[in-house]
Structure 1
Amino acid sequence: MTKKADKIDRLAELMQTTEVTSGASLWREAMRRLRASKMAAIGAVVIAAFVVIALIGPWIAPYAPTAQTWRGDVFPNRGEFVGMRSGNWFGLDHLGRDVFSRWLVGARQTLLVGVVSMLIGLVVGALIGVCSGAAATLGGRAGQRVDTVIMRFTDIMLSLPSLLLAVSVAAVLGQSLTTVMIAVGVVQIPVFARLLRGSMLVQGGSDYVLAAKALGLRKRRIVLTQILPNSLSPVIVQATLSLATAIIEAAALSYLGLGNPDPAIPEWGVMLAQAQRFFDNEPMMAVYPAVGIIITALGFTLLGEAMREALDPKLRG
């Protein structure tokens, strides 16, 4: 079993509470601690700013992001670029396009890729995790064999470097924005699957599950109404953290040329890739999208870590 798999299992164990009657109070306490957390506040502010920019960016962009209005002002073959000035806050790129307008519009593409990729991983991974966890918890010997097969497959996926796996999927499917979403989503699937399965195994040995079995409740009802709702805390936290990872990996795929085949459509990863050729003469072309990616990923990471601490039963006072 890989170190990544061990880490996921420990996270699932760490964040469980075996008293179903304390579920409501757990969430109230978690919200109270989140509101008091400076880390959560900073992360929430960063995420809110990013979402607002992504939503209104195309309407507040001063120029069309694909318009080569000032192409005669730059000479990339001679290393001459136009930097920050009154009409162009972030300067011009190698084709005479306004970098600030492209940065604003590109935020929407980056958010779209991150959210859709995370949802693909969450939905598919959760379905696999529920099937595996239910089979291992209530399926007897046959169920345990099914669980073993599923988990060995997820272990194989977890043993592969995430970026390498994403590149492999993107290379097979071809160059497109949809490909990037699917490739990054596939990387997230085994993480969610193993995390939810581990949570369900912890909950499967709880007193309330034993009581439900003694009352003769159907296994499907026990899983859907008892075990699953009390196993979702670590999955919710992981979804927040996975958004940061998805944004970084999507930008990496775009940087490697596996993203949108039309380079005129702005996206932070594409902008970073285009700026690479001119880094010696105009490094700020790469700095703006890079800073956007870093700060956004940091915001999701801070909020995710704050949620993890707030939901950790061992830290409740």
Structure 2
Amino acid sequence: MTTLTNKADKIDRLAELTQQTDATAGASLWREALRRLRSSKMAIIGAVVIGAFVIMAIVGPWVAPYSPTAQTWRGEVFANQGKFVGMRGENWFGLDHLGRDLFSRMLVGARQTLLVGVVSMLIGLVIGAAVGVLSGAAATLGGRTGQRIDTVIMRFTDLMLSLPSLLLAVSIAAVMGQSLTTVMIAVGVVQIPVFARLLRGSMLAQGGADYVLAAKALGIRKKRIVLTQILPNSLSPVIVQATLSLATAIIEAAALSYLGLGNPDPAIPEWGVMLSQAQRFFDNEPMMAAYPAVGIIITALGFTLLGEAMREALDPKLRG
């Protein structure tokens, strides 16, 4: 009896040491990643671009010099007989085809663009993570039944991944009807298989780790092992992908709005809608399209730069 007690005590101590080591290693990884991000020019540039975009989205409606929907200079635009009013003192970016201030519309439109991107990414992240956890847990600790569940889920995600993302988003948006909510859902659904497969693969990689074996030896319930051990250690690549998916979501949402599947009210400024409206007047006033296009490109570039920098910082192969 004493021998069994001593063995149990040794196993408990081994598990504690394993968990402490893994926790310390995890904390060290994040500290090292943060240090590398601070010294990365790519990460700094991306963070600055994202910060400027977020600030614009938050304060834009309050600092916009004019109402983004007011056709204050409509008469002046029509009086010029198709010649658009360019940059001037009271209108920094000039006027659009209805006499509305383009600078004010760009400021206010940033909030709509950010809202669509964030909500779309969150839809894909939450649902995709749930599917990935289910599949990863089934494949790691579910036995033969779990393997079958994992196979069914992964074949379905492979089917979704085999379709071009923009084509799938357009199909969903066309079925659901024209609205800003439709755009968010359509772009979010496209992101689901990406997060699901990524998290599932990360959980499979963690499934054979020492701390998982120690938890199994101690008889800890499988659900607890997944939620308290495997899942927290599998989230690093998902966090990186969430940053990269924001860039993709903004581009795809702008593409859907450009195709006329976004907000049915064209008076409400959103960069994709503004780009769609400007295409009719590109020959006479290309700057109408240039402003929202450049805004979309720079914003997506900022999220991409930060995401790639995070990926490099969290890659253990690149740790020096």
Structure 1 letter corresponding to 2:30: W
Q: Percent identity?
A: 88
Deviation of 1:301 (Å): 0.3
Structure 1 letter corresponding to 2:148: R
Q: State the superposition RMSD in angstroms.
A: 1.2
* Residue in structure 1 matched with residue 106 of structure 2 by the alignment: 103
Pair 1:298 & 2:301 matched? yes
Contact 1:53 1:108 in 2 (8 A): yes
* Residue in structure 2 matched with residue 152 of structure 1 by the alignment: 155
* Residue in structure 2 matched with residue 6 of structure 1 by the alignment: none
CA distance in 2, matches of 1:240, 1:54: 17
Decide whether aligned partners of structure 1 residues 77 and 179 sit closer, same or farther in structure 2, where only a CA change above 3 A counts: farther
Structure 1 letter corresponding to 2:175: V
Deviation of 1:74 (Å): 1.3
* Residue in structure 2 matched with residue 74 of structure 1 by the alignment: 77
Pair 1:224 & 2:231 matched? no
Deviation of 1:73 (Å): 1.3
Matched residue pairs, number?
300
Q: Which runs of 5+ in 1 are unaligned?
A: 1-17
1:1-317 residue pairs with structure 2 within 5 A?
19=22, 21-75=24-78, 78-317=81-320
Structure 1 letter corresponding to 2:112: Q
Deviation of 1:205 (Å): 1.1
Deviation of 1:79 (Å): 2.9
CA distance in 1, matches of 2:190, 2:148: 24
Structure 1 letter corresponding to 2:147: Q
* Secondary structure of the structure 2 residue equivalent to 1:242: helix
TM-score (norm 2): 0.92
* Secondary structure of the structure 2 residue equivalent to 1:254: helix
Contact 1:103 1:289 in 2 (8 A): yes
Find runs of 4+ consecutive structure 1 residues off by over 6 angstroms. Answer: none
68-77 or 265-274, which deviates more: 68-77
Contact 1:76 1:278 in 2 (8 A): no
Structure 1 letter corresponding to 2:86: G
Contact 1:73 1:81 in 2 (8 A): no
CA distance in 2, matches of 1:264, 1:211: 61
Contact 1:20 1:230 in 2 (8 A): no
Deviation of 1:20 (Å): 5.2
CA distance in 2, matches of 1:120, 1:57: 25
Structure 2 letter corresponding to 1:55: I
Higher alpha-carbon Rg: 2
Structure 1 letter corresponding to 2:187: V
CA distance in 2, matches of 1:314, 1:225: 26
Contact 1:238 1:304 in 2 (8 A): yes
Deviations, residues 146-165 of structure 1 (Å, cap 9, x unaligned): 00000000000001000001
